[in-house]
A and B are shown apart, each in its own frame.
Chain A
């Protein structure tokens, strides 16, 4: 039982981080129609900025805020200057720009902050003694903190989408850009804001996961997260924010449980096993759990 709870907690912690990263991908996808492969590396870059600030004795919370602001600007500027001019051409063009950004941001982080592994201070107390005992299992404060931040963030994003005028515009642009433009929505500005929002969410994901990750903060920290988040977004349905959250949690749990309970898989095949399960599910629901089916016309 103890070990089950431990795996459950691990799974939920990783799952929540995958979930918000997936949410960032979904926000971009709804507006732009492609997966932003650079999302992870942009987050890595802003996380490095947060780390650099903490080494200058800036409190970690303030550093996180700055990183989010940088993430917002980075996302919005990228959309306006690099994505929008090529977006009309075709999806491949957008994808290639994203791949270019992926390489460039990773290298830029390496150039500015060198390739040494950094120790990122957590937002929450992360000592050995900082835990609740739940049925004999330790639930550490830092894990719980991640859950809380993610829960609040998801709540905010949903409130934004469903309760505000800006969110209404965002949904309108995602649904049908032309009708939205005709109804007076400034689609360009909405797209920029969408990318900026994704930048904020991504930065938060990076700042939350870096202290917990086994790799701490290094140039390779975010790539696996991006892989899982893409899988989560696809699993949930690329255009569905709820899908991203469900998908992220599902992958975190699948990973923890399969690794723990299927001997053949053990510690060696955890990513494979999680992805294979998702592919099998996709065979039955080809657009993910909550994705909209596309209609094609001839």
Chain B
């Protein structure tokens, strides 16, 4: 399915009436509109409350936002299009190094580097998508794996540009908030928090619209059955390459923000395959192919290790993390948001008013959903 969340803009698929819905909303009525508006409003309020916390907490939340963007990117290709990518650390890294190198070597205004990072990562994604036309499944995962392995080695090989294994340090003066924000240099954390929040909101809107567009439907069709999609007129080649390109671009944006967030980049620090695994973990914890799954997943990958790190010398967090991941597969295979969405649809039912022409063509019936039995 395309969008699933606890909030009302759920797909109009009839909810499985077990005990019947608690609340029925009719599309287009004042109540329905209020419910639709409540979601974004609540998000804004939470974001505002978050910015008032102590700097350390705001920093943590910023990394959640950045992770959420990166996982949203991965979601496009792995969640919606069904192509497993183990190489997204490379997009994250390319974005980060694009921003880093442009700021350090060319003194470009940090924000202006983000579009460049996105474009470069789109190009890389497009190229990675090309073998997907011939190579499938786990064999394709190997191609993405090659990209993921290659990135840190390439960074070290071209040390003149990237600082190599020693790393690339961005001076904090260059990352200071612009003057019009009225924030002092010491409030960089707030500036980055809001920049990340805005980018995340833009990305969520983009993903939402994309998954409801022709291309988005084609992506899901390719995932569910490639041959059937092709015979229904979906151009597989362009869907796969575009999905990889867009996915790379979004994750690259997150990389650019990450560069501004940490201010020091090293090839073996955050851009190895372990980062890819973290992103995949977040995606499936939160819920693959759900709009808000990446946000829930990002919260989990940032906070679970943080709160368990103090227990027994740090290694315990890894064990717990692995156990949580396995438990999720057993307890809620559709991920946190996928499960919430299902519960939500059971409690709240949205009906179309009588003889209403649907605004959007109805999404696929639920039997195509990978998360259903």
- What is the interface of chain A, defined by CB distance below 8 A to chain B? 34-35, 82, 85-86, 89-90, 92-93, 95-97, 99-108, 110-111, 114-115, 223, 227, 230-231, 234, 238, 266, 268-272, 275-276, 278-279, 282-283, 286-288, 296, 298
Contact = CB atoms under 8 A, between A and B. Distances in A.
B263 interface: no
Interface residues of B, number: 48
Interface of B: 84, 131, 134-136, 138-139, 141-143, 145-146, 149-150, 153-154, 156-157, 225, 227-228, 231, 273, 277, 280-281, 284, 288, 312-319, 321-326, 328-330, 333, 370, 373
7 contacts: A85-B330, A92-B284, A96-B281, A103-B277, A104-B318, A230-B142, A282-B134
A275 B150 contact: yes
Nearest to B314: A110
Contacts of B319: 103-104, 107-108, 111
Given A92-B284, A101-B326, A106-B318, A276 B370 contact: no
A227 B153 CA distance: 15
A82 B326 contact: yes
Given A99-B325, A108-B315, 14 more contacts: A96-B280, A96-B325, A100-B323, A104-B323, A107-B316, A108-B318, A231-B142, A238-B138, A268-B153, A275-B142, A275-B145, A278-B146, A282-B139, A298-B231
Contacts of B318: 103-104, 106-108, 110
A269 B134 contact: no
A95 B156 CA distance: 31
A95 B276 CA distance: 14
B149 A111 contact: no
A114 B153 CA distance: 28
Q: Which of B149, B225, B314 has the most CB of A within 10 A?
A: B149
Contacts of A90: 370
A107 B136 CA distance: 32
A85 B330 CA distance: 8
The 10 A-B residue pairs with the shortest CB-CB distance in the complex, in nearest-first order: A107-B318, A104-B322, A100-B325, A275-B146, A111-B315, A103-B322, A110-B315, A272-B150, A100-B326, A100-B322
B153 A102 contact: no
B273 to A, nearest CB: 7
Contacts of A272: 146, 149-150, 153-154
A108 to B, nearest CB: 6
A95 to B, nearest CB: 7
A54 to B, nearest CB: 22
A294 to B, nearest CB: 8
B107 to A, nearest CB: 28
Given A278-B142, A296-B227, A283 B135 contact: yes
B142 A234 contact: yes
A162 to B, nearest CB: 25
B329 A86 contact: yes
Contacts of B134: 282-283, 286
Contacts of A276: 146, 150
Contacts of A107: 315-319, 321-322
A227 B154 contact: no
A275 B128 CA distance: 14
Contact of A99 (B150, B281, B316, B330): B281
Nearest to A275: B146
A104 B312 CA distance: 14
A286 B139 CA distance: 7
Nearest to B130: A283
Contacts of B228: 298
Contacts of B138: 34-35, 234, 238
A276 B270 CA distance: 22
A271 B153 contact: yes
A105 B330 CA distance: 19
A137 B183 CA distance: 67
Contacts of A268: 153, 156-157
Contacts of B156: 268
A27 to B, nearest CB: 15
B153 A282 contact: no
Nearest to B144: A279
Contact of A96 (B139, B143, B284, B370): B284
A77 B106 CA distance: 56
A214 to B, nearest CB: 15
A287 B370 CA distance: 24
B325 A111 contact: no
